[in-house]
Structures are given as structure tokens and as C-alpha cells.
Amino acid sequence: MSYIVKHKGSKTKVDVEKIDVALFDVSFDNGKVIRMDAHKIQPNCFLVVYNDMVYEFDVDWIDGKVEIFYKNSRLDVDIGDEKKELYLLKKQAYLSHGETCITAPMPGKIIYLLAKEGEKITKGQGLVIIEAMKMENELKSPSDGMVAKVHVEEGQAVAGKSPLITIIQNT
């Protein structure tokens, strides 16, 4: 998967290739390649082993940016154009005739369904949790309404842009 990483005015292309369960090769646009072990130890908390050193990071996604916390330092990184588009998809919906279809922002696995068909929902309420790229993402309702259709089941693998939940908006 390719990313454009922006930090403090600099821009770098990064390619991440999964080699094994937790083993990754990370290639930078300057030709440098590093191999690292990365393990999710809690939601938003990762353990990375690189050059026989162990690093623990907390990672938060906020408004299309990634905040990485290491020890007492915070690093703000703007996610790349392709990745940003997928991130924004999780906050947006396709509107037609008062219905909103919440879709998968990228390929992943449905971890939890937080709403049921026929349930009344409020703006910002969690609807589904999807795991993608070893991160759990909670998709929320963009408006008040009712769940018209649940298109998936817990444990199901989904493709990017697959319909997950359709809601009928309150008018």
C-alpha cells in the first residue's frame, strides 16, 4: 500500500509491503528500505521492533490526520491523498432520496455491528466497527434517522466501498 506522508512541510512517498503476519518492509522515495515487526497490542497502540530496538506508539486518527505519540512526544502526520480519500469516505455517505448508505472506507473485516435494522439513531452514533490495515475504525451516522438495512454480518470480510448500513434520514 502506498502513502504520501506530509510532516512539517516535507512530503515523502512511503510503500508498505506486508511480508508475514507482523513483518513489514517499508520503502521510502529516497530508496531506503527498512524491515520492521509491528504488533497491535491494544486499540490504537502498537509495538514496533526495528534494528533490535522496541518502540511503543499510540496512534490516533483525528480529522484526516494521524497523531503519533511516542514517549512524551507527539508527531502530527497528514495522511496521503489516496489514504485521505478513503478516510473521508468513512465520514461521508452517498445521498439519494433521503437515504444514506454507509460504505466500507477500504477492504476490511466487520468486527462489531452497533445498530440493528429498525433502530432509531442519532447523528454521530456508532453504527459499525470495521478492521482495516490492523486498525479498528468506528463508522458513525452522519444524521439522525433510522437503520433501514444492515447489509453485512459480524466477522464478514468486505471490499472497499461495499455497502454496510443504509439509514433513512429524519427530514
Please write the tens of the pLDDT for every residue from 148-171.
999 999 999 998 888 999 998 875
Per-residue pLDDT of the chain (171 residues; tens, 9 = 90+): 777 777 777 878 788 888 988 898 988 888 999 999 988 888 788 889 989 899 898 888 766 578 888 888 887 777 665 545 455 554 443 343 467 888 888 889 999 999 999 999 998 899 999 998 778 888 998 888 899 999 999 999 998 888 999 998 875
Q: CATH 2.40.50.100 occupies which residues in the chain?
A: 91-169
Entry pTM: 0.46
d(CA 139, CA 87): 10
Q: 84: buried, middle or exposed (CB in 10 Å: 19+, 13-18, 0-12)?
A: middle
CB 46 within 8 A of CB 59: yes
Fold of 91-169: OB fold (Dihydrolipoamide Acetyltransferase, E2P) (2.40.50)
Q: CATH 3.30.700.30 occupies which residues in the chain?
A: 2-79
For 2-79, the fitting CATH number among 3.30.700.30, 3.40.50.2300, 3.40.1390.10, 2.40.33.10 is: 3.30.700.30
Structure confidence by residue, pLDDT tens digits, 53-74: 998 988 887 665 788 888 888 8
